[in-house]
Structure 1
Amino acid sequence: MDQLNIVLTALGGVVLFLGLVSDYFRRNWWTSDPLTALLLGIALGPVALHWIDPNQWGLAQEHILEQTARLTMAIGLMGVALRLPQNYFWHHWRGLVVLLGIVMPLMWVISGLLVYFILGLPFWQAMMIGAAITPTDPVVATSIVTGAVAEADLPPRLRHIISAESGSNDGLAYPLVLLCVLILVGSADGSALQTSGVLPYWLVHVVLGEIVGAVVLGAITGFVAGQLLKWAERQKTIENTSFIAYSLALSITVLGATRLLGTDGILAVFVAGLVFGNVIGGQQRSQEDNVQEAINRFFTLPIFVLLGTMIPWQQWLALGWKSWLLVVAVLLLRRLPAVLLLYRQIPALQNLPEALFAGWFGPVGVAAIFYAGYCLRRTGIEEVWLVCSLMVFASIVAQGLSATPLTRLYHSYACKQT
């Protein structure tokens, strides 16, 4: 019970602390909110103050993080969806097709091959790790493209394309992860699959059943929720202040219900948020700042504190120097070359500096924590958690420290061009 109270105090205190000084840290110390929360978690954990010790909780730490990441992603994705302009995907489909249909698979292949060649893991284990770190994380990305610095120095089209991609590929990475899991351990019910039967099972059950099903169910739920909200406003049965609670409740409801129905709950939440936002229209957009504040400060930062307390330092050191070579290679090669190669096909990226910015800021974050925990639970392969947690840590540090200076550098370039 003491541990529970300490955790609650620490998590609430971190949110209060960052609510007071996050903008100061971002402007002067160049630290993002996720990075600050991660560092505070390390300080509170077993390696420093020892106020929070997850080893005493009696549960697998990876499972705790997996379920926390699942909830965090759902709430964060709803915030991203509501932040995007109405009908954004309809008007920017070309660039998103390139990012999701070409860049994302390339990120998977490149990441998996880097793990395979540098760490020497079996091929499909390496590809599973590559799939887990493929999605660009919307929670970390939000800390990069929102706030006073980003809104003052970055054009909306650049901020929106990063948000839209990060919101979409969290759920779309699921079939890539599942393909590797199916090859390694078999179907969801534990039955073994012949090699020749993996692809048909994957196409029918994962792609058609879970992914397409998630899009359909998410769209229906978001549409119905939006219509009900408009009806409640016409009947004057709802207060304006209920909008935040309504949108958060929608994300949790969709996450749980769609998973019970056997579809990809993460993707369904994002689709539901997009459709919901389009249905309610611009009348609620003025509440965007309040929604984002509630989401970022209260619901998404605690997972980084928990991650800081659960970092497997000893196991990371046991991986040796090759793991740090992998970190550098993944950060530089996982995404940046693909975006630079294809940015002329993405209308939102109008020049090379914007391509460099979007290529660098494809953070590995909460989605990787979720998929790493899932893969570990399904396969029992410890390396997936060790490598993914190391990449999350490295990405939060590297991109958290570079967000403010690179945003200001881009702004200086843009000012010189005008």
Structure 2
Amino acid sequence: MPTLSLINFNIICATLGGFISLFGLVSYLFKERFYLSEALISLLAGVAFSPHGANFIRPLDYALDTDQNLEQITLCFTRLVLGVQLVLAGVQLPKRYLQIEWRSLSLLLGPVMAAMWMCSALVIWALVPNFPFLHALVVGACVTPTDPVLSNSIVKGKFADKNVPRPLQRIIIAESGANDGLGYPFLFFAIYLVQYTGMGGEGFSGGAGKAMGLWFYETWAYTILLSVGYGVTVGWISRELLHWAEEKHYVDRESFLVFAIALALFIVGTCGLIGTDDLLACFVAGNVFTQDDWFRLETMDDSLQPTIDMLLNLAVFMWFGAVCPWSLFLNNSVIPLYRLVFLGILILLVRRMPIIFALHSYIDQIENFFQTTFVGFFGPIGVGAIFYLSISREYLRKITVDGEIRADAQQLSDAVEVIVWFLVICSIVVHGLSIPFAKAGYHLPRTISAAISTNSTADPDPIPLASNLQTHSTATRDTAEKANHRGRKRDTPTPTPTPGPRHTPQPIAFQIGRSVIRAKSPESEARIGSGSEGEPARPVNLVLKEERADGP
């Protein structure tokens, strides 16, 4: 007799598939009309289906009821999502983009990242009670990189097409892709110092000198430089092999389209085997792979890569909603809730905004106050922060004395978990709702004002003057064009308008009853009622002409 099989695999497939299907039915409405990010919607769905809600998604069951296994699953999931996203981010950039825009990128990846790290650490140090500054540097390093997954919500879609110039979109993509991999030096600078100088270096000899030696050798030489070299090599070889296979007609269309995603999986796996920075290697490989712009142009109109991107986004943020330690925000030994809320507000305001305003004049893609505010505010904290959270907690477990985690390492591990998770949730919610609230705040007063003025006008004219509309749209278009392309070569050449037939302004019409009387026009004085084609028009001296509204 048939029985129900309520195993986790069946439940998770049904839940995930059902949510993606239902969300797909209204995705355009939510994303392009309400400007809600899919990350926020997926996070809320994850909470609803988690043990805090319907209990359809049971993370601890999949991790065999151990928190360490659960963190390992989350780490592997974030590595997979970030690896694919970063290769696709590299592929999206045009030909030789990193070489051409090296000046702006060096500012964003150097002084801007360092300032974000230091500002975050100072705010955390000030608000968390009895928290050493060295520990604050570790937590600040986790939230320093801007997230490439959440950045997609502000550089893609109708809002971005209307409000974010293409050069600005590209620099945001490049920054969010590169700085995720460059978070290692900031994180391990602080972690090595904690390991070798915390509590007098108990259990580890060598002091600060040993810590700096490890930082230069293991972090910079092995993790960063090796990953860059590996990414360049794999990207170049992959591009040449795909060129060769395409010329020989050995590769079919489906394999061609999925090649970049397969490349991401290969790099994540091989970098994991040798213990280097898979995130940076993926981004560099994606750039080198499309260095000649061939693959990007070939796949520009294809929807496979955006589709995979969307599926990964929905899945990972549902997972975050389910595994987030919500109860720790209320009950923890690190920081009370009111301080945690204030910390989240300050981080979103001062982590990135001051340094962007200080350096915006040196970044060519940022051209005005609005764009400076936009780039300064939209530096989301997301999947990358959870990745570095898992990396840091995994390493801190190795700082042991007599088989037990050292007291300062345990305190730091607990603080990282609470603070980073809370800041990620704050960023998803605030950045996910910022555009809808901004649009509502812009349109609502105008709508109310228009309704009041319409009701109070004695002789309303619902149809605006065409001349006013044309003047306004042209002025808006000209202003946007000047702001977007001030003194710089445009992405696509502006087509030269071809001269068309000259249009003479229409004469003013006066209506009396059903008769329409038109004023004298230059055309009417010169000619009227031409004969057959090619014959000269017969000149007349009529000044006014009466027409019937119901016929000629």
**Pairing of 1:243-322 with structure 2 (within 5 A):** 243-279=256-292, 281=294, 284-287=297-300, 289-318=302-331, 319-322=336-339
State how far apart, in whole Å, the 2-side matches of 1:147 and 1:206 are.
37
> Which residue is 1:235 aligned to?
248
Q: Is the 8 A contact 2:145 2:381 kept in 1?
A: yes
Residue 16 of structure 1 and its aligned partner are, at CA, apart by: 3.1
The one of 129, 132, 141 aligned to 1:131: 141
State how far apart, in whole Å, the 1-side matches of 2:24 and 2:196 are.
46
Residue 81 of structure 1 and its aligned partner are, at CA, apart by: 1.0
**Pairing of 1:315-330 with structure 2 (within 5 A):** 315-318=328-331, 319-330=336-347
**Pairing of 1:57-68 with structure 2 (within 5 A):** 57=62, 58=64, 59-60=66-67, 61-68=70-77
Residue 415 of structure 1 and its aligned partner are, at CA, apart by: 5.3
Residue 283 of structure 1 and its aligned partner are, at CA, apart by: 6.2
> Which residue is 1:32 aligned to?
37
State how far apart, in whole Å, the 2-side matches of 1:289 and 1:332 are.
38
The one of 101, 105, 122 aligned to 2:114: 105
Query: Which one is further off, 30-39 or 399-408?
Result: 399-408
Q: TM-score, normalised by structure 1?
A: 0.93
Change (3 A) 1:107 1:288: farther
Change (3 A) 1:317 1:280: same
State how far apart, in whole Å, the 2-side matches of 1:88 and 1:17 are.
38
Query: Which one is further off, 38-47 or 288-297?
Result: 288-297
The one of 204, 208, 213 aligned to 1:200: 213
Q: Is the 8 A contact 1:79 1:295 kept in 2?
A: no
Structure 1 residue 94 and structure 2 residue 126: aligned? no
State how far apart, in whole Å, the 1-side matches of 2:190 and 2:56 are.
38
Residue 128 of structure 1 and its aligned partner are, at CA, apart by: 0.6
> Which residue is 1:75 aligned to?
84
Q: Is the 8 A contact 1:335 1:362 kept in 2?
A: yes
Structure 1 residue 171 and structure 2 residue 220: aligned? no
> Which residue is 1:84 aligned to?
93
The one of 191, 198, 216 aligned to 1:181: 191
Change (3 A) 1:407 1:139: farther
Query: Which one is further off, 195-204 or 247-256?
Result: 195-204
The one of 362, 367, 380 aligned to 2:384: 367
Specify the code of the residue in structure 1 equivalent to 2:303: N
User: SS in structure 2 opposite 1:278?
Assistant: coil
Structure 1 residue 46 and structure 2 residue 51: aligned? yes
> Which residue is 1:388 aligned to?
420
State how far apart, in whole Å, the 1-side matches of 2:227 and 2:327 are.
39
Specify the code of the residue in structure 1 equivalent to 2:238: A
State how far apart, in whole Å, the 2-side matches of 1:8 and 1:79 are.
26
Once the two structures are superposed, residues 241-261 of structure 1 have per-residue CA deviations (whole angstroms, 9 ceiling, x without a partner) of 223321111001111212322
> Which residue is 1:222 aligned to?
235
Unaligned runs of 5+ in 1: none
> Which residue is 1:115 aligned to?
124
Structure 1 residue 10 and structure 2 residue 18: aligned? no
Specify the code of the residue in structure 1 equivalent to 2:215: W
State how far apart, in whole Å, the 2-side matches of 1:406 and 1:223 are.
43
Residue 101 of structure 1 and its aligned partner are, at CA, apart by: 0.7
Residue 186 of structure 1 and its aligned partner are, at CA, apart by: 5.6
Specify the code of the residue in structure 2 equivalent to 1:38: L
Identical-pair percentage: 33
Q: Which structure: greater helix fraction?
A: 1
Structure 1 residue 417 and structure 2 residue 426: aligned? no
Residue 369 of structure 1 and its aligned partner are, at CA, apart by: 0.5
Query: What value does the CA root-mean-square deviation take over the aligned residues?
Result: 2.3
> Which residue is 2:512 aligned to?
none
Q: Is the 8 A contact 2:38 2:313 kept in 1?
A: no
User: SS in structure 1 opposite 2:267?
Assistant: helix
Q: TM-score, normalised by structure 2?
A: 0.71
> Which residue is 2:487 aligned to?
none
> Which residue is 1:403 aligned to?
435
Once the two structures are superposed, residues 82-129 of structure 1 have per-residue CA deviations (whole angstroms, 9 ceiling, x without a partner) of 111111111111111111111001000111111111113222221111
User: SS in structure 2 opposite 1:51?
Assistant: coil
Q: Is the 8 A contact 2:196 2:208 kept in 1?
A: no
Structure 1 residue 341 and structure 2 residue 373: aligned? no
State how far apart, in whole Å, the 2-side matches of 1:392 and 1:343 are.
26
Pairs aligned (count): 414
Change (3 A) 1:126 1:152: same
Q: Deviating runs (4+, > 6 A) in structure 1?
A: none
Residue 143 of structure 1 and its aligned partner are, at CA, apart by: 1.9
Structure 1 residue 355 and structure 2 residue 352: aligned? no
Q: Is the 8 A contact 1:327 1:394 kept in 2?
A: yes
Q: Is the 8 A contact 1:108 1:127 kept in 2?
A: yes
Structure 1 residue 147 and structure 2 residue 157: aligned? yes
State how far apart, in whole Å, the 2-side matches of 1:11 and 1:297 are.
13
User: SS in structure 2 opposite 1:102?
Assistant: helix
Specify the code of the residue in structure 1 equivalent to 2:168: L
Query: Which one is further off, 56-65 or 243-252?
Result: 56-65
State how far apart, in whole Å, the 2-side matches of 1:385 and 1:140 are.
20
